[in-house]
Amino acid sequence: METKVLRFTMFLLFLVIAADVAVKRTEGKDCWLPSMTFKGICIISKHCAKACLNEGFNGGKCKGFLPHCDCVYTCY
């Protein structure tokens, strides 16, 4: 009887471990798009981030040689 319980317990443990390995875990990475509402040269990233938040993005940052406002969102 103890052998059956032990085998059953080991089988359940195997299923749990196998299910955990089979699940593909992905983390989103940051993707960037130019802001549609921010106008002019971007000097203060805080202002850019505010414009991007109003557009529904996660935030924003001044980027580039001629700084422009890029909005960030999580992509997969």
Full-prediction pTM beyond 0.75?
no
Domain boundaries, the chain: 2-75
CA 71, chain centre distance (Å): 14
Q: Which of 17-21, 30-34, 59-63, 69-73 has the lowest mean pLDDT?
A: 17-21
Q: State the alpha helices, DSSP H only, in the chain.
A: 2-22, 45-54
Report yes or no: 28 and 75 within 8 Å, Cβ to Cβ: yes
- In terms of pLDDT, which residue wins out, 16 or 62? 62
pLDDT band at residue 3 under the 50/70/90 scheme: confident
CATH number corresponding to 2-75: 3.30.30.10
Burial classification of residue 59, based on how many CB atoms lie within 10 Å of its CB (0-12 exposed, 13-18 middle, 19 or more buried): middle
